[in-house]
Chains A and B, each alone.
Chain A
Amino acid sequence: DTEVTQTPKHLVMGMTNKKSLKCEQHMGHRAMYWYKQKAKKPPELMFVYSYEKLSINESVPSRFSPECPNSSLLNLHLHALQPEDSALYLCASSPGEGRYYGYTFGSGTRLTVV
């Protein structure tokens, strides 16, 4: 299995809702990432997990809460989002954090906040 699987593919949520995005990989990768991408912009890093521990938080608002329950699974919990949080949320994984490693990306969850 050489894929990163993200679910759901599309999500519409109200500003008072709580929802979660899920990301799964079975390549034995030990680093996992969340990126946010607005339309016509490059992906922006949000969080990095390395060996199931949070390694980098790019000053993301607390309404986004990441979780890494095990080495294959990465979640992003969403609560009280704003319409400007509507974006494509991308998950990626790599064998480790070092510069030698390429990333494998999922196809993303397209989130719309209404």
Chain B
Amino acid sequence: DAKTTQPTSMDCAEGRAANLPCNHSTISGNEYVYWYRQIHSQGPQYIIHGLKNNETNEMASLIITEDRKSSTLILPHATLRDTAVYYCIVRGDTGRRALTFGSGTRLQVQP
């Protein structure tokens, strides 16, 4: 599975959009981009995933660049409850056959 690079931490004002970047320059054609988050002392929560097209669900939007080397998770109207560690994970069918977490981005939503 391709390696990902995320900023260690980010701040966002409550009510504003939170844009979390992820670099995955070695991604291959059959690898999906997944985003999970982990609120303090809870289990990780699935947010969204995509292959090449942009995706949107009730929680967030995922924007994947045309060359697929990077992506951005967008929380359109961040709330204090969105304060969490956000993990960007790339998964294919070769290499590790299970979800492998990197260090993630610690997002702090400020009132």
Size class of B's contact patch?
A: 20 to 34
Q: What DSSP secondary structure best describes chain A's contact surface?
A: strand
Q: Is A42 within 8 A of B42, CB to CB?
A: no
Chain A residues near B44: list those with CB within 8 A: 43, 90, 92, 103, 105
Number of interface residues of A (CB under 8 A): 24
Report the Cα distance A47→B12, complex, angstroms. 36
Is the CB of A24 closer than 8 A to any CB of chain B? no
Cβ-closest chain B residue relative to A94: B99
Which of the 9-residue segments B13-21, B65-73, B76-84, B87-95 touches chain A?
A: B87-95
Chain B residues near A48: list those with CB within 8 A: 97-98
Chain B residues near A43: list those with CB within 8 A: 38, 44, 101
Q: Is B97 within 8 A of A105, CB to CB?
A: no
Q: Which of A93-114 contact B (CB under 8 A)?
A: 97-100, 102-108, 110
Q: Which of B1-41 contact A (CB under 8 A)?
A: 30-32, 34, 36, 38, 41
Chain A residues near B97: list those with CB within 8 A: 48, 55-56, 97
Q: State how many angstroms separate the Cβ of B36 from the closest Cβ of chain A.
A: 8
Chain A residues near B41: list those with CB within 8 A: 88, 108, 110
Q: Tell which of B41, B44, B101 has the most Cβ of chain A within 10 Å.
A: B44
Report the Cα distance A55→B96, complex, angstroms. 12
Q: State how many angstroms separate the Cβ of B95 from the closest Cβ of chain A.
A: 10
21 CB contacts below 8 A, A to B, read: A42-B85, A42-B104, A43-B38, A44-B101, A45-B96, A45-B99, A48-B98, A56-B97, A88-B41, A92-B99, A97-B98, A99-B30, A99-B31, A99-B92, A99-B93, A102-B46, A103-B99, A105-B45, A106-B43, A108-B42, A108-B43
Give chain B's interface residues, CB within 8 Å of chain A: 30-32, 34, 36, 38, 41-46, 49, 85, 87, 91-93, 96-104
Give chain A's interface residues, CB within 8 Å of chain B: 4, 33, 42-45, 48, 55-56, 88, 90, 92, 97-100, 102-108, 110
